[in-house]
Structure 1
């Protein structure tokens, strides 16, 4: 499927016209050269899953901005779904301009760490925005304690502002097979 066909399919799945941009910086900026729609959060994962099954190797889709701080923020419960060109899932972070600037890590440094996880057990990035990344594990880590400690070292906020300790983090990831990272 080429980009034009993908945009048409995107419109069909979202049941609305697509925007010729996505948002960055909590919805305050626009990224040209990609496409997006605002949908109910309940529908977002289904849209990207359906679209991904039809895309070729040079196109990516993901859940983008969910935390809008712009003056024209959508109503609560609406999230952005993004479609664009990309050579790998790591281009999702580049399109979203994800960083952990409060921890002195920019986009490429986040990508390097996520690539380590991908090589170790496979990950599927489904969401990225200004300071957030979510991915699913394709295979379970052999050493859960090491993995959770490494995640904590990479993103302390998941414990310090989130679940409270590494044991709860491990339990939640095992249950969901997903990792939700954010850097405040």
Structure 2
């Protein structure tokens, strides 16, 4: 009995110390204040701080007055170096946040010149990411609404998860792809984003093979 009481006392002390540490940590207090402003749960900050040591800032919707992102609050944004060593931890974080009603996605791709940025948006609808980032292909007269419609069309054919987006690109991960449907899907994607083949895989056949292998798509209109 004494051992049980001692164990419970130790747990209480450890929890109390952790809670006190969180309360006294000025960085966490700043993060919590930002979360309160956005009406985000403190548990989101706690989850991020398990992996993120740098600054967490506020990210406003792109082109708010043009795109009409009413109903979406600002997001949290931070630098994060996702690599082979921590990719599984990133996926666990993304899954955990999704269960709480938040979507984690890449918000800025810097191609190795500096750390990429990621964001957390309070929504259960992944297509809100495209609306929030105002993704468009202005150089091709492709509007945000057009991209939204096309992505919905592609999703109906082959379900996917939107894993990143910015003003002129979107990244998705396909849940699965039947080899028999790969060419049809690749042709559909090529019509939507010709640079995939013209500046990337060179042929639609190669594009289909790449999609089958990686289950990923990086669409851009620069």
TM-score (norm 1): 0.81
Question: Displacement of 1:153 after TM fit?
Answer: 0.4
Does residue 36 (structure 1) correspond to residue 77 (structure 2)? The answer is yes
Q: Deviations over 1:63-96 (max 9, x none)?
A: 111149xxxxxx8241001011123111111222
Does residue 6 (structure 1) correspond to residue 66 (structure 2)? The answer is no
The separation in 1 between residues aligned to 2:80 and 2:61, in whole angstroms, is 14
Query: Which residue number in structure 2 is paired with residue 63 of structure 1?
Result: 106
Structure with greater helix percent: 2
Question: Displacement of 1:46 after TM fit?
Answer: 4.7
The separation in 2 between residues aligned to 1:77 and 1:41, in whole angstroms, is 12
Runs of 4 or more, structure 1, over 4 Å off, are 22-25, 43-48
Q: Deviations over 1:95-151 (max 9, x none)?
A: 222111112122222121111222222101111112111111112144222111111
Query: Which residue number in structure 2 is paired with residue 167 of structure 1?
Result: 205
The separation in 2 between residues aligned to 1:100 and 1:125, in whole angstroms, is 17
Aligned pair count? 172
The separation in 2 between residues aligned to 1:44 and 1:131, in whole angstroms, is 27
Question: Displacement of 1:21 after TM fit?
Answer: 2.1
SS at match of 1:60: strand
The separation in 2 between residues aligned to 1:93 and 1:47, in whole angstroms, is 24
Q: CA RMSD in A?
A: 2.6
Contact kept? 2:82, 2:90, Cα under 8 Å: no
Contact kept? 2:137, 2:168, Cα under 8 Å: yes
Higher RCO (CA-CA < 8 Å; seq separation 6+): 1
Query: Which residue number in structure 2 is paired with residue 20 of structure 1?
Result: 58
The separation in 1 between residues aligned to 2:216 and 2:171, in whole angstroms, is 7
Query: Is there any run of 5+ residues in structure 2 with no aligned partner, and where?
Result: 1-39, 64-72
TM-score (norm 2): 0.68
The separation in 1 between residues aligned to 2:128 and 2:154, in whole angstroms, is 16
Aligned pairs for 1:71-110 (under 5 A) are: 76-110=113-147
The separation in 1 between residues aligned to 2:188 and 2:158, in whole angstroms, is 14
SS at match of 2:51: helix
SS at match of 2:176: coil
Aligned pairs for 1:72-151 (under 5 A) are: 76-141=113-178, 142-151=180-189
Contact kept? 1:58, 1:85, Cα under 8 Å: yes
Structure with greater strand percent: 1
The separation in 2 between residues aligned to 1:17 and 1:5, in whole angstroms, is 17
